[in-house]
Structure 1
Amino acid sequence: MKKLIKTIVVVLLASLLVSPGAFAKSDNAKESLVAVGDSIPFGLNLGQTNQNPAKTSYPYLIGKLADLRVRNLGVSGWQSDQLLEALQNDQKYRQAIIHSDYVAVTIGNNDFLAILREAAIESGGNQLAFQQLLAAKLNQSDVFSNIQQIITEIRTLTDSPIVLYNVYNPFQLTDPLHYIVDPLLPDINDAFAGLAFSNEDVYLADAYTAFGNDQALYVLPGDIHPSNAGQAKLAEIGLDALGLY
């Protein structure tokens, strides 16, 4: 079934190159997907201007495959506290969630990148100090508390199924950061799995395993964001997690 989904996604991506309107919302779709989070659901650097979410981002691919209307509210650069604030106080976000049938959440990536940058700066280039600072800052981070509050806030607005994406390694195998980050990600992603397991109707989309060490295929060159192939893979695992195949 996963091979069939992947084949369909590839065909859809090919059709998009021919028809810019191929991923427009279907007014006849009976259900809707609302995607919230950061630059990953937004599809940063896949469009020409980055002024609007890319139509090849995973929420639109899921919408096309499952015949869902899509509201893509991903914002580039957002951290978990910013998404939580929006869900608590921004009526655009609250109303979108209220009227959702499915919700996709991709957040935490920028929190972890900020921690990585802080540790690098504070360590002054000392490798041991960097590793120690990185571990300490991860332990002190409130990102998972924020994500739990995000899930709780969504649950006050809707009982729609939620797909929660975990964190893939964004660095190419030629980048030393790949090998610094990779040993940390299993524990980080265990926490994502715990959040999914401990909340009703929250399903994990395992981006870390799906991307593996195939960053050359799934991550844009010289970038940390998913390529079109990466977005297709995220759509595939999201469909699988929600049972929308």
Structure 2
Amino acid sequence: MKKSMFKSLTGRLVILVLMLSMIFTTGVFAAVDVNSNDSADGTAIDTQATTDIGVQYRGHVQNKGDVPLPVGSFVTGPDELGSRGEGLRLEGLRIELTGDIPAGAGISYDVHVQNKGWQGPVSNGAYAGTTAQGLRIEAIKINLTGLDGYEVYYRGHVQNKGDIPVVDESWGWVKNGAQLGTTGESLRLESIQIKIVKTENYTALGDSITYGMSATPGSGYVNLFYNHLTSQTGNENLQLVNLGVPGYTSSQLLNQLQNDPATMAALSQAKVITISVGGNNILAPVIAGLAVAFQLDPNSPTFPADLATALAQLGAADIITAALPEIQTSVTASVTQFGTDWPQIVATVKTLAPQADIYVTTLYDPINLQDPLYAVFDPAIQTINTAIKTPGAGYKVADVYTAFANYQGSEPLVNFNWYTGNLDPHPTTAGHDVIYQCHLSAGFIN
């Protein structure tokens, strides 16, 4: 009886591993999904000016001379420089940054002047435009230089057009070198407002679940949580950076955090971070163990087909039976490695993004409680979840394991189903929605 049960369990494990090998060795690369609610030529979003780096400016206005008074003083962004309703042209201006400005950072600007055209960019308080020539500024472009993580927004008032730009029937903003004003229409720019906005993002870290594999496009938990975040006041301009990589283990995520410049840059601007990792610490050793047992290259693009051929040969069951103890040892070691990696992952994220709110997810078990394989995988999953749920770790825990285990709905949360032949362990679209709901109810472990 025990031998028969072992063969049945081994057979199911073989089928499961075959399917997992096809899922997790497909060579899918990292997805970097950067979304912004800004349009190319303007935005109706009322983004808030940053408090650590600002901007000030002064100018020369027809019939008024240098403004504001006293001469040499500045308007602080985003207050208005110039006039409205008086028919007076803005003839020139100076713009400079304020606050804790990094070495090499600056602001440059170029103006289009009546009868002269574009004058060429000047920077950091230099004068752009004319004086005593009776010539109007018609348009302006403004850029930041050497100041990653910030954007410059500006808007103005133009003869015969009023407040520009108009976005979604509201007075919006242009940014980062876009043209404000007109050329070829002989219309004066009468006033301008400028502000510096700190770029912030939601960075999602992890594996294929973070990536959104098996969910309807746009319905992964990362996208759902992002939509929720941007619906909140103050987050309207939040960008999404999805750095999920299918197949990543905890060690690979740690390496990404410590050595990938793009990841470090994203985290330096992160307001919210989510982390979902650990499943591959269990799955990868199983796949690697079978590769060794059958003398296959798991990195080969033909590995799934090669493994299928190997499993079909006579004596495959005996090879697997002989390999199982070593595979179990490797799984145990990989789960132990997660326990070593996890505190370093958290510490690295906090160092790179001390300003961010951090959410982490527990692993769910894709296998039904009544299935014999439940006893194979669940203890390893629980060990990883214990590490994730460390009290006082300073992050919010989205307890996906408990939510999936207690789920009473009719729609399946996981694609995995022996009886339909679907052995994909990823969440369904409904599963991603439950993971998203777990983020909404996430809390600190004390």
TM over 0.5: yes
The answer as to 2:384 corresponding to 1:199 is no
What does the per-residue CA deviation read over 1:1-41, in whole Å, with 9 as the maximum and x for residues that have no partner?
xxxxxxxxxxxxxxxxxxxxxxx653448863210110001
Partner deviation per Cα, 1:198-229 (whole Å, 9 max, x = no partner)? 422x1111111111175971112421001011
Instruction: Compare the two structures and name the one with the higher strand fraction.
Output: 2
In the other structure, the counterpart of 2:404 is 211
Alignment correspondent of 2:304: none
Which range moved further: 165-174 or 205-214? 165-174
Is 1:225 paired with 2:443? no
Could you list the runs of 5+ residues in structure 1 that have no partner in the other structure? 1-23, 48-53
Task: State which structure, 1 or 2, has the greater radius of gyration over its C-alpha atoms.
Answer: 2
C-alpha deviation, 1:110, in angstroms: 0.5
Is the CA contact 1:45–1:225 (under 8 Å) kept in the aligned structure 2?
yes
Matches within 5 A, 1:100-139: 100-117=270-287, 126=321, 130=324, 134=328, 137-138=331-332
RMSD, aligned CA: 3.1
Check 1:108–1:55 CA distance in 2 against 1; reply closer, same or farther (3 A cut).
Answer: same
**AA in 1 matched with 2:258:** Q
Amino acid at match of 1:97: L
Tell me the TM-score normalised to structure 2 length.
Answer: 0.42
Larger deviation: 113-122 or 214-223? 113-122
Please name the residue that 1:99 is paired with. 269
What is the Cα deviation at residue 133 of structure 1? 6.1
Partner residue, 1:21: none
Per the alignment, residue 154 of structure 1 pairs with 349
Q: Which residue of 1 aligns with 2:125?
A: none
Per-residue CA deviations over 1:97-137 (Å, capped at 9, x if unaligned) read 1111110001111111123446778795559x957963674
- Give the number of equivalent residue pairs: 210
Deviates more, 1:36-45 or 1:65-74: 65-74
Distance 1:114 1:55, change over 3 A: same
> 1:149, CA displacement in angstroms?
1.2
> 1-side partners of 2:437 and 2:272: how far apart?
15
TM-score using structure 1 length: 0.72
Asked whether 1:78 is paired with 2:78, we answer no
Higher RCO (CA-CA < 8 Å; seq separation 6+): 1
Relative to 1, partners in 2 of residues 1:130 and 1:97: Cα closer, same or farther, differing over 3 Å?
same
Is 1:64 the counterpart of 2:227? The answer is: yes
Alignment CA distance shift 1:211-1:152 (3 Å)? same
- What residue in structure 2 maps to residue 142 of structure 1? 337
Matching residue's letter, 2:37: S
The unaligned stretches of length 5 or more in structure 2 are: 1-34, 39-44, 49-199, 294-317, 417-421
Residue-by-residue CA offset, 1:120-166 (whole Å, 9 max, x unaligned): 78795559x95796367425631122122111111111121211111
Q: For residue 74 of structure 1, give the secondary structure of its aligned residue in structure 2.
A: coil
Amino acid at match of 1:151: V
